Each structure stands twice: as C-alpha cells, then as structure tokens.
Amino acid sequence: MNIISLHNTLPAVFAGRPDTGSEIWLRDVSFERGKHYLISAESGTGKSSLCSYIYGYRTDYSGTIAFDGNDIKSMSIAQWCEVRTHHIAYLAQEMRLFPELTALENIELKNSITHHKTRQQIVAMMERLGIGEKVDSPVAKLSIGQQQRVAIVRTLCQPCDFILLDEPVSHLDDANNAIVAQMVSEEASRQGAGIISTSVGNNVKINVIKEFKL
C-alpha cells in the first residue's frame, strides 16, 4: 500500500453543518507511504473517527476513502484481515488492552500473529520505555502512562506500510514522548512506512512532512 486518499469525506454526524475550515473533511487529501503527517485537532472534531474509518472499524461517513485508489467500502473481510496484519499498524486512543493479561501477554497476542519481533526484542523495547520490570504485571495494575507504553510496543510488532497513531503520547512525559518518537521513527524507517499521528496538543515529537488541521 502506497497511498491512503480521502475525497470529499465527512462523518455522518457532521452532515449539514457549515464548512468549519477543516483541511481533512470535504477535501482531497493523500497520505503517502514513507512520509510523516500530523493531524492536529480540537476535541470533538473527528480525529478518532478518522482513524476508525481508515482502519475499517466504522463506515458512517460520506465521500470516499481509498487505498491505492480502491474504495475501502468494497473490501472483503479477508482483505481487511490482510490490511490489519501487514499494511496498517494502528494504536487506538483507548489502547484496547486486555486488563487481565500481563503486559507481555498483551504484546505477544499480536506478535504471535505477525511474528515480527522476537521476545528479546519486545523486552528490549519495554526496557527502553522504562517498563521492563512490568513484563509479568497484569495490565490492570499498570498506570495509564505505562499502559500506553505497552500499547505502543504492541503497535510496532507488525509489518506495515503505515503507522496510524491516535494521540499516542497523551499520557506520557516529555522524556518518554521523545523515546516513543525515536522508536516509531526507527521502525518506520526500517519498513519504509508512513506515519499518521493525531493530537489535541501533546504531539509525538516526530519531524513531520505536513500538518493538517482537522
């Protein structure tokens, strides 16, 4: 996958509203593989909805979203499984961790499908983010910031053309923000992947090619 494009896209809930000046909604927008993008937005303007549309979780929008020119609304379940396993690595804002499982078990659930990292590499990533001692701790007992770091490691455990991040550092301090930015950039560089990140203020500290206002 080389290009994710939007044409005249608008969440159904926004239908009939006057043009708010968004640089995404009701516009022609393209995200290219290998480039880094930031979508900055105020709360309630649809950034999480946009991520859900791109990842195929929701279809309540008008207009078109396409992968390499192919409308994603026509994709089959098998095609979506392929996209989510090999083409788009997604970190949802709500993280979607299993609280009863340990930090490592949450990550290995994904890695057991993708086989993208070794256990040693996963533990090294956790140590780099200061949660190495939490490998065997149930996620329910971790702080929100620690959970976010677990979710970030899990996100990076797959091959991809795009890394899609919805407020990836909202619960992190500047030091961990910088580490996350470096890790995401390194993984994107290894795979030649694009990065699409959303934020309402605490931006992941990645050099961006272009910023959009939502």
Kindly state the average pLDDT of the residues 183-187: 96
The predicted-structure confidence for 112-149, as pLDDT tens digits, reads as follows: 999 999 999 999 999 999 999 999 999 999 999 999 99
Torsion-angle region of residue 96: left (phi > 0), alpha (psi -120 to 50) or beta? Answer: left
pLDDT value at residue 86: 96
- The CA-based diameter of the chain, rounded to the nearest angstrom, is 52
* Number of structural domains in the chain: 1
Q: Which domain holds residue 151?
A: 3-213
pTM value is 0.93
Q: What is the CATH number of the domain that holds 56?
A: 3.40.50.300
Average pLDDT across the chain, whole number: 93
Choice among 5-19, 69-83, 89-103, 198-212 with the minimum mean pLDDT? 198-212
Confidence label for 207 from pLDDT (cuts 50, 70 and 90) = low
Q: What pLDDT is attached to residue 45?
A: 86
Q: Which helix (H) or strand (E) holds 36?
A: strand 36-40
Dump pLDDT digits (tens) for 36-51. 999 988 888 899 999 9
pLDDT (0 to 100) of residue 187:
97
**Mean pLDDT value of segment 151-169:** 96
Q: Residue 45 corresponds to which amino acid?
A: T
**Is 18's pLDDT higher than 70?**
yes
User: What six digits make up the tokens of 61?
Assistant: 């929008």
Distance, CA of 115 to CA of 110 (rounded, Å): 8
State residue 204's pLDDT score.
Answer: 62
pLDDT on residue 11:
95
Give yes or no for residue 205 having a pLDDT over 80: no
Q: Looking at residue 19, what is its pLDDT?
A: 72
Q: How far apart are CA 96 and CA 30, in angstroms?
A: 27
